[in-house]
Amino acid sequence: MPFAHITGWGMYVPEPILTNDDISKLVDTNDEWIRDRTGIRERHIAREHEFPSTLGVEAAVRALQIANLAPTELDLIICTSSSPEYIFPATACIIQDQIGATKAGAFDIQAACTGFIFATNMAAQAIRSGSIKSALVVGTEVLSRFVNWKDRNTCILFGDGAGAFVLQASDIPGGVMSTVMHSDGSGADSLAILAGGSRYPASELTIHEGKHFIEMDGKEVFRFATRVMGRAVLEALEKVNMTTNDVQWIVPHQANYRIIETAAKYLKMPLDKFVINVDRYGNTSTASIPIATVEAIQKGQIKPSDKIAFVGFGGGLTWGAMVVEWTGPIPAKKHVHPEQYRRFARLRSFLRRVIRFIEGVFSRREL
């Protein structure tokens, strides 16, 4: 049975930064309160012309560069987002088209902030089963478009950004070792965007009632997160007969510094074993774990052969953890330039649209 290694990683955040002081001009809050209660100092906000696919493509190309893998080699793309571009088509398909992943199947999964762990697990299982050789997982968010900038309970928390992993099959042991995935739909009300789906289709009333914005019972989510995070890590470690002593790094979902602190206490682990960057990005939902991972690698914290536990929680309610042996890119003789495929991808996409248009004209004539 092949092993599923994480061989590439990339992140991208939009340039504009929104500080706590900026937010204090919008709602009744202040920098001290936000830093004290959440650990967040600033977050990045997408510009008007940036969408989840825009950010996701940047992160994906960077991940492919590290993996030294051409997009045309990808078998599968899974995108996960709490702020997808559309209800359908899947954001994964837009990314597939733009990076030029001509033979990849692409789809989205939705598990709120836990999405990246669930999606990476799905990709790893597909590789482990032998049915595919390589996969791209993208977590990408433009949550700022769903934030009610008049609600001080939520608007202080979220930021935009994207992160991506490339997974590849190898006979060498390592990579994704174990995963646990959990859900509890009885808590669905605690964190939600209610309108825009088929239950509350967009209407004057849904807009008037603010149902297209993120709604959250902050205290409830806080209690849930502190209850499940530590337990999920232990469960994932137990599956591979490991303990917290065997782990070099925990990469938690970046929602709130205090939640991470509580998890560290529960696990009896020093906080400096936790990768934390919530101060500079806020909560980027599905993108937070890969963004934190990429930064930790760039800082020289995460190194090959390290054992890492990812842990996440979010709306649904959902939560999960994954234990990974970090390896890095599979050595290859040839050097590929994934970014160069984008130009061809744009041309290919344009030509396919033209062909589809011409086919449409001829088929109408035949009818």
Question: Catalytic residues, which ones?
Answer: 113, 253, 283
Q: Cite the beta strand spans of 152-302 per DSSP E.
A: 161-170, 175-183, 191-193, 214-216, 249-252
159 binds ligand UT7 (CB under 6 A): no
Distance CA 277, CA 96 (A): 29
For the CB of residue 256, give the shortest distance to ligand UT7 in the complex, in Å: 4
User: 24-49 burial, b for 16+ CB within 10 Å, e for fewer?
Assistant: beeeebebeebeebbbbbbbbbbeee
266 binds ligand UT7 (CB under 6 A): no
Name the 3-class secondary structure at 164.
Answer: strand
96 in Cβ contact with 104 (< 8 Å)? yes
246 in Cβ contact with 257 (< 8 Å)? no
Q: Which stretch binds ligand UT7 (CB under 6 A): 41-49, 126-134, 149-157, 174-182?
A: 149-157
For the CB of residue 88, give the shortest distance to ligand UT7 in the complex, in Å: 24
263 binds ligand UT7 (CB under 6 A): no
Cβ proximity to ligand UT7: between 52 and 71 the closer is 52
For the CB of residue 342, give the shortest distance to ligand UT7 in the complex, in Å: 31
Looking from the CA of 250 toward its CB, the CA atoms found within 13 Å total: 31
Q: Which stretch binds ligand UT7 (CB under 6 A): 29-37, 56-64, 160-168, 271-279?
A: 29-37
256 binds ligand UT7 (CB under 6 A): yes
**Of residues 89, 187, 196, 218, which one binds ligand UT7 by CB under 6 A?**
218
Cβ proximity to ligand UT7: between 153 and 170 the closer is 153
Calculate the alpha carbon distances from 124 to 232, 249, 258, 280 in Å. 19, 20, 31, 30
Distance CA 247, CA 251 (A): 11
314 binds ligand UT7 (CB under 6 A): yes
81 binds ligand UT7 (CB under 6 A): no
113 binds ligand UT7 (CB under 6 A): yes
Residues that bind ligand UT7 (CB under 6 A): 29, 33, 37-38, 113, 152-153, 156, 191, 216, 218-219, 221-222, 225, 255-256, 283, 314
